[in-house]
Amino acid sequence: MAARGAVRIPVVGAAMATYHLVYQLASRYGVISVNEKLNSIFLRAIKEAGCYERLISMRAIGKPLTLPMGEFYTPEELEAELLRIGQKQVEEGAQVLVIACTLISLFLQPGALDRLKEKLGVMVIDPQPIALKTAEMLACLHLSQSDREYPQG
């Protein structure tokens, strides 16, 4: 938030951009977290975005993503884990799934999110391209955060 008051170019948070887009795509969504210890941070971001009431569940993968990297999944194992969790969330009523990690594509084989979408029958969203495209759209439209909400200084 402090960055928005420091610059006049668009400052876009991945969580805010993603959850606002999800709100336009479906009335119920699930979140797959890459580390259960971060769930409270992810939930706070969802609430700050005003998108909590449509969240059906947040579930974490079994082997948390940590820095420095500890034991983690192979790309194939991670895809299988995301499918397992995603199936539960779809059964609960999720119409869209969000993976709460802007780096998830680094840990998956190319095409993994498309395969998950096909198997689950719902969109599986990576927040990173959503944030980048939102920033690009704002810049192209010559829009930025409000000077009144985020005064420079």
| pLDDT (tens digit per residue) in 104-136 | 888 999 999 999 999 999 999 999 999 999 999
Using the predicted structure, report yes or no on whether residue 70 has a pLDDT greater than 60: yes
What CA–CA distance (Å, rounded) separates 26 from 29? 7
CATH class, domain 2-140, is: alpha beta
Per-residue confidence (pLDDT) for residue 61, from 0 to 100:
95
Which residues make beta-bridge pairs with 60?
33
Per-residue confidence (pLDDT) for residue 3, from 0 to 100:
58
Per-residue confidence (pLDDT) for residue 108, from 0 to 100:
93
The pTM of the full predicted model, rounded to 2 decimals, is 0.88
> Using omega within 30 degrees of 0 as the cis cutoff, is the peptide bond preceding 129 cis?
no
Question: For 71-109, what is each residue's pLDDT tens digit?
Answer: 788 899 999 999 999 999 999 999 999 999 988 888 999
Using the predicted structure, report yes or no on whether residue 153 has a pLDDT greater than 70: no
Task: Name the least confident of 1-10, 32-41, 77-86.
Answer: 1-10
Other residues' Cβ atoms within 10 Å of the Cβ of residue 139: 13
148 class by beta-carbon count within 10 Å (0-12 exposed, 13-18 middle, 19+ buried):
exposed
Contacts of 9 (CB under 8 A, 6+ apart): 139, 144
